[in-house]
Amino acid sequence: MTNESTSYRQPWLRGALFDSVFILLPGLFALLLTFVLPSAYKYTDEMPTWGWVVLVLLVDVAHVYSTLFRTYFDKERFTRHRVLYTAIPVACLVAGVLLYSMSALAFWRSLAYLAVFHFVRQQYGFMRLYSRAEARKQYRKYIDATTIYAATIYPLVYWHCSPGRNFSWFVQGDFVVADLPMVRSVALYIYVVIVAVYCVLEIGDIIRYSRFNVPRNVLLFGTLASWYVGIVHFNGDMAFTMLNVVAHGIPYMALIWLLKEREDGVRGSHSVSTTRYLRSAFIFIGVIFIFSYLEEGLWDGLVWREHASVFPLFSLLPHLTSKEILSVLVPLLSLPQSTHYVLDGFIWKRGHS
């Protein structure tokens, strides 16, 4: 026996308050809101304009642009990784144009699966961060990883095996879906067994060591709840988007900000430091919101024509429908997203600084 129970410290990234508000609880808060939504938003494809603005514009698209502060806006880091940061958007644009030239569906389907991979890996990444101080045996690390992947992959399997979902990742039909009840049943059985094994082992740790990793377990069970409820339990565009986007976008932006404040040295307790901190936070939020608005305005004016009330000036732009033009324009407008998904696989690796 060791004295783990007396020496154990919770592995917060910044502190209990910051981690809880911006990383661990956004998904759980969205979960509570989802249950009180009108039925139409839980079981239909209806999405109010205000919901789209808050969830898609100010969270989903905004989190993409927060990556700029760890890549292209960081002069030293950009200098060290100039080739990588230049090659990835070029490769993404070329691949996007080729795919869209084949078919619009091929493009959106490829982007959707790339996005899904990014979303799933983020939850695994946070699990690793909150396990970083634990001397866990190798088999326990495998179980942790298997459980967080099960929390995200089972709902995705259910989605792929259940036609008639009232939501999509980007556009209707971007996922390959077929009615496969047997696959759903087997996947559910595996899912339940994995989660049960994890719970039994965690309870064993509590009994043996009086030790409970709060952030890791809140992250895990929050992921289990939000992904299951958003995809399996409810069947509505608003419910899915709220649970999918909030639990992903806000923690991602918080992590970028956390690293930015450490590197910039904006965190402090004196009045001057507080002023500098608030100014830096205002610039951070303002920049990503402005970029988000400009991008979505171009999408709406040139392609979608769905939110003219949100982008009145952009409605003056020509509505483009030519496949030849769209085969370049759509991958170009999607470049921030595709670059974000691919680049994110590099910027968090050990040694990338």
Q: Using one digit for the tens of pLDDT, what is the confidence trace for 255-264?
A: 999 998 887 7
Classify 120 as helix, strand or coil: helix
Mean pLDDT of the chain: 93
* pLDDT band, residue 1 (cuts 50/70/90): very low
Q: Which residues of 267-289 are buried (b: 16+ CB within 10 A; e: fewer)?
A: eeeeeeeeebbeebeeebeebbe
User: Which residue in the block uniquely carries the two structure tokens 């740790």?
Assistant: 205
Of 1, 22, 41, the C-alpha closest to 251 is 22
* pLDDT band, residue 202 (cuts 50/70/90): very high
Taking the model in full, what pTM does it have? Answer: 0.93
User: What tokens does 30 get?
Assistant: 């969205």
Classify 179 as helix, strand or coil: coil
Q: Distance between CA atoms of 45 and 309, rounded to whole angstroms?
A: 20
- The predicted structure's pLDDT at residue 260: 86
Q: How many residues does the chain have?
A: 353
229-244 pLDDT per residue, tens:
999 999 999 999 999 9
Q: Distance between CA atoms of 188 and 21, rounded to whole angstroms?
A: 31
- The predicted structure's pLDDT at residue 5: 46
- The predicted structure's pLDDT at residue 7: 61
Q: Where are the alpha helices (DSSP H) in 53-178?
A: 62-66, 75-80, 82-102, 104-129, 138-160
Q: Distance between CA atoms of 85 and 87, rounded to whole angstroms?
A: 6
Radius of gyration, CA atoms only, the chain: 21
* pLDDT band, residue 275 (cuts 50/70/90): confident
* pLDDT band, residue 266 (cuts 50/70/90): low
How many Cα atoms are found within 13 Å in the side-chain-facing hemisphere of 210? 8
- The predicted structure's pLDDT at residue 285: 96
* pLDDT band, residue 4 (cuts 50/70/90): very low
Mean pLDDT of all residues in 79-84: 95
46-79 pLDDT per residue, tens:
999 999 999 999 999 999 999 999 999 999 999 9
pLDDT at residue 350 tops 80: no
- The predicted structure's pLDDT at residue 267: 54
Q: Distance between CA atoms of 305 and 296, rounded to whole angstroms?
A: 11
* pLDDT band, residue 2 (cuts 50/70/90): very low
How many Cα atoms are found within 13 Å in the side-chain-facing hemisphere of 202? 18
- The predicted structure's pLDDT at residue 265: 67
Query: Could you give the C-alpha distances from 27 to 108, 143, 220, in angstroms and in order?
Result: 26, 23, 11
User: What tokens does 105 get?
Assistant: 């569906």
Q: Distance between CA atoms of 202 and 144, rounded to whole angstroms?
A: 10
Name the more confident of 279 and 31. Answer: 31
Of 320, 276, 270, 285, the C-alpha closest to 299 is 320
Name the more confident of 131 and 274. Answer: 131
Q: Distance between CA atoms of 344 and 334, rounded to whole angstroms?
A: 15
User: What tokens does 113 get?
Assistant: 């699966």
Contacts of 303 (CB under 8 A, 6+ apart): 319, 320, 326, 329, 330, 333
- The predicted structure's pLDDT at residue 269: 45
Q: Distance between CA atoms of 322 and 172, rounded to whole angstroms?
A: 20
